[in-house]
């Protein structure tokens, strides 16, 4: 349901590394789910940036659990490899959703959005981050957690559980 109580329509894709999923991601997912008919959270298999800490299965499992716990019935999780533009075309997606935390996010995201539209014809809509989460990133969450800091406010409970398991396994 949208904010006006009407049912949303269209399929939105929310792509990312989700290494791990944060409350900032969950906020964007929940708000997108209130606008669009269906939201597909698409986990990139091998992010170019660096080797992910969490396996693809772990990242998908934490997202599925968080979606379930939040009661978001029109959200699902999948994975993709290669070009996002190819994936959105193959999946007949209507729109790509991206969160913007700070102005500097916009610089990268603007050119990425234009390239993705040029390659696929699919537009990107930007969701401004909730100020409560504008300073959160997956990399910062990992650093704080593995150095012993408290991250309970910044990740869904399902993620916290998987992170604790990972920390125990790495000990």
Just list the catalytic residues. Answer: 25, 49, 101, 138
CA distance 19 to 162: 11
Comparing CB distances to ligand PNS, the nearer of 64 and 115 is: 115
Cα–chain-centroid distance for residue 9? 20
Nearest-approach distance from CB 17 to ligand PNS, in angstroms: 4
Nearer to ligand PNS, 34 or 115 (CB): 115
Beta-bridge partners for 123: 95
- Is-contact 146 33, C-beta < 8 A? no
**For ligand PNS, the closer CB: 133 or 148:** 133
Hey, what are 160's tokens? 């916290």
**CB-nearer residue toward ligand PNS: 14 or 36:** 14
CA–CA gap between residue 11 and residue 95 (Å, rounded): 7
In 10 A of CB 63, how many CB atoms? Answer: 28
- Give the shortest CB-69-to-ligand PNS separation in angstroms: 21
For residues 126 and 14, the answer to whether their CB atoms sit within 8 Å is: no
Q: How far is the CB of 3 from ligand PNS (least distance, A)?
A: 26
Residues 6+ apart with CB under 8 A from 22: 133, 136, 137, 138, 141, 154, 155, 159
Instruction: Tell me which residues touch ligand PNS (CB under 6 A).
Output: 15-17, 44, 47, 83-85, 112, 115-116
Smallest distance, ligand PNS to C-beta of residue 80, A = 7
Residue number of the CB closest to ligand PNS reads: 16
């Amino acid at each position: 349901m949208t904010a006006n109580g009407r049912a949303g329509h269209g399929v939105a894709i929310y792509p990312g590394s989700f290494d791990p999923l944060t409350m900032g991601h969950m906020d964007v997912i929940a708000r997108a789910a209130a606008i669009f008919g269906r939201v597909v959270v698409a986990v990139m298999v091998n992010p170019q940036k660096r080797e992910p800490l969490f396996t693809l299965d772990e990242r998908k499992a934490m997202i599925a659990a968080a979606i379930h716990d939040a009661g978001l019935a029109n959200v699902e999780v999948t994975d993709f490899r290669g070009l996002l533009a190819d994936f959105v075309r193959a999946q007949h997606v209507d729109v790509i959703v991206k969160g913007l935390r700070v102005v500097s996010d916009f610089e990268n995201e603007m050119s990425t959005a234009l390239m993705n539209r040029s390659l696929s014809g699919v537009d990107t809509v930007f969701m401004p981050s909730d100020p409560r989460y504008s300073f959160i990133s997956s990399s910062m969450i990992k650093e704080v957690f593995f150095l012993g800091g408290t991250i309970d406010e910044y990740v869904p409970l399902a993620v916290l559980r998987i992170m604790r398991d990972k920390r125990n396994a790495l000990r």
